[in-house]
Amino acid sequence: MSLQAPRGTRDILAPESARLRALVDAFATAAELGGYGQVHSPMFEQIEVFQRVGEATDIVSKEMYQFRDPGDRHLALRPELTASLARAFVQHRPALPWKAWYEGPQFRYEKPQAGRFRQFNQVGAELFGSDDPQADVDVIALAWRFCTGLGLGQLRLVVNSLGDRADREAYLAALAAYFEERAGELSAQGRETLSRNPLRLLDSKRPADRAVTSGAPDIEDYWSPAAAEHFAAVLAGLEALGIPFERNPRLVRGLDYYRRTAFELASDALDGAQDAVGGGGRYDGLVADLGGPDVPGVGFALGVDRLLLACDAEGTFPAPPGAAEVFVVDVTGGRQASLLAEELRRAGIRVERAFDGRSMKAQMKAADRSGARWALLVGADELAGGVVSLRRMRGHEAAEAPESVQSRIPRGGVVEELARLLAEGAAEGSGS
RNA sequence: UUGACCGUAGCUCAGUUGGUUAGAGCGCCGGGUUGUGGUCCCGGAGGUCGGGGGUUCAAAUCCCCUCGGUCCGCCCA
């Protein structure tokens, strides 16, 4: 155990990696169905990209991996992707509205825990250039459609509005005043949070602080008429689409740039502190903060690792079958297995074979474990006769007549015959 | 940064108050006569007991440090 993956990171090996890719594929399909195009952005950015976006947020102030490159540039591994996308928007100025989706790892220096890693994967989408409440709905609908498409049923959509910039500032001031007055009742940690960002305190799970926060001023009382109207339109839009939600005036998100709409997807199937699978909101003003035009935006990100945990908990979205379709057993040295396997693979058939000249029994065992429905057997007899033995591997009783299970076919017709059998099997499989 | 618990074979775990060559199940490899899987039987490989230091005649077992994991808190994905 001398060398291992750094703390908070892990290797994702074969069956699980296929599942992760399938999840990303499903998201790509959902997003592109909605007119979002994929963006690849760098894993690291000039550190200012993130700093300008949220000095007071934890992920920027204390969780960033930062470094200087050999050219003395001050860089940071991306702790989130909305800022990267906003930077890309400013740099390229695409036509509006710009709808982008993304996927990939992000990095935060935190204490690892179940469902929380220092390198973790997210999928997400952003819509730049519209302040229409229907844009908010478009984005939320994508997240919802994708998650329910995975088979997740125990998911709650929690929504809130943080008002416009001025509303938010007025509210923040009122909140700070309220908490200052009662600082004595707060826990030591609570007071620390207060000095950093009073909004954070609303989320607090500490019982002592809860008592204080329950009487705190309500954001709704600080909404401007425009913000209130916007939020009402978003809720009406969700209702029209039949997307269930619950309102929570205490929902503030971890990132400071949110304006108006904020939302979170939480899973009741996940226990413990990490029940949020994703969240997002509107961030009007962010693009301007990065030196671009005053273009509004709304988006979200979902934690891939948490989504998969939620899928586990609900017993949905299993790993896709990676099984071979055909296994070539060759006891004449292995060259025939190479030839047959390659021929079949060039025809698009998933083929496995054994190495190291193992015994027929061993190769048959391997064939069984591979999950292949068909085995091709090549021995001295077959080789001499220009044939191969074709054996059905699964779904038959031991008592069945041997000739219905195994037969010899001409060597030259192997690809055609297997293609036919597999197509037949697929048709049957889809019918049942 | 602080707290609690945990760390024995590839995996899941036993291992009595410190006491001989550290075990099981699963998995893996081989065998059960001539070239045939899934069941069964037999055999085998595989472990610096996370790492380092200390106490002791003797440490997987006790103490300290360290690394990693889990939980809480914090926060989020």
A56, pLDDT greater than 70: no
Could you read off the pLDDT of A321-364 as tens digits, one per residue?
778 999 999 999 999 999 999 999 999 999 999 999 999 999 99
Q: Which helix (H) or strand (E) holds A143?
A: helix A133-149
Q: Are A263 and A246 in contact (CB under 8 A)?
A: no
User: What confidence score (pLDDT) does residue A84 get?
Assistant: 95
Distance (Å) from CA A5 to C1' B13?
A: 25
Distance (Å) from CA A274 to C1' B76?
A: 8
Q: Are A331 and A383 in contact (CB under 8 A)?
A: no
User: Omega before A320 cis (within 30°)?
Assistant: no
User: Order of strands, edge to edge, in the sheet holding A74-77?
Assistant: A44-46, A74-77, A66-68
Q: Which residues pair with A278 in a beta bridge?
A: A265, A302
User: What confidence score (pLDDT) does residue A210 get?
Assistant: 73
Same domain, A261 and A403: no
Local structure of residue A155 (DSSP, 8 states): E
Q: How many CB atoms lie within 10 A of CB A423?
A: 10
Question: Residue holding tokens 């609570």?
Answer: A190
Complete DSSP assignment for A380-413? HHHHHHTEEEEEE-SS--TTS-HHHHEEEEEGGG
Same domain, A293 and A236: yes
Q: Which of A148-152, A187-191, A336-340 has the lowest mean pLDDT?
A: A187-191
Same domain, A257 and A361: no
Residues making up chain A, counted from first to last: 432
Q: What is chain A's Cα-based Rg?
A: 28
Distance (Å) from CA A129 to C1' B61?
A: 66
Nearest nucleic acid nucleotide to A301, CA to C1' distance: B77
Question: Residue holding tokens 């036919």?
Answer: A420
Nearest nucleic acid nucleotide to A106, CA to C1' distance: B77
Same domain, A43 and A77: yes
CA nearest neighbour of A150 among A241, A37, A23, A42: A23
Nearest nucleic acid nucleotide to A274, CA to C1' distance: B76
Average pLDDT, chain A: 89
Same domain, A236 and A350: no
Q: What average pLDDT score do residues A376-388 get?
A: 95
Q: Domains in chain A: how many in total?
A: 2
Same domain, A268 and A406: no
Residue whose Cα is closest to the C1' of B68: A7
CA nearest neighbour of A371 among A409, A425, A314, A317: A425
A352 found inside a domain:
yes
Q: What are the tokens at A59? A: 């992920």
Strands A276-282 and A259-267: antiparallel
Q: Identify the domain containing residue A351 by its residue range.
A: 326-427
A215 found inside a domain:
no
Distance (Å) from CA A14 to C1' B10?
A: 15
Same domain, A296 and A375: no
User: Domain with A105 in it: what CATH number?
Assistant: 3.30.930.10
User: What confidence score (pLDDT) does residue A240 get?
Assistant: 97
Round to whole Å and give the CA distance between A302 and A305: 9
Please identify, among A282, A314, A346, the residue that sits at the C-terminal boundary of a domain: A314
Q: What is the ipTM of this complex?
A: 0.84
Same domain, A59 and A155: yes
Nearest nucleic acid nucleotide to A6, CA to C1' distance: B68
Same domain, A395 and A337: yes
User: What confidence score (pLDDT) does residue A431 get?
Assistant: 45
A417 found inside a domain:
yes
A202 found inside a domain:
no
Cα dist. A253→A33, A73, A85, A168, A201 in Å? 28, 31, 19, 13, 11
A204 found inside a domain:
no
Round to whole Å and give the CA distance between A158 and A246: 5
Round to whole Å and give the CA distance between A11 and A17: 9
CA nearest neighbour of A98 among A87, A107, A108: A87
Q: Are A55 and A48 in contact (CB under 8 A)?
A: no
Sign of CA dihedral A185, A191, A197, A203: negative
Nucleotides of B under 7 A from a protein CB: 1-2, 28-32, 35-38, 48, 50-51, 67-77
Q: Are A105 and A121 in contact (CB under 8 A)?
A: yes
* Higher-scoring residue by pLDDT: A162, A395: A162
Round to whole Å and give the CA distance between A38 and A40: 7
User: What confidence score (pLDDT) does residue A62 get?
Assistant: 78
A396, pLDDT greater than 70: no
SS3 A358: coil
Could you read off the pLDDT of A210-246 as tens digits, one per residue?
777 778 888 899 999 999 999 999 999 999 999 999 9
Same domain, A300 and A389: no
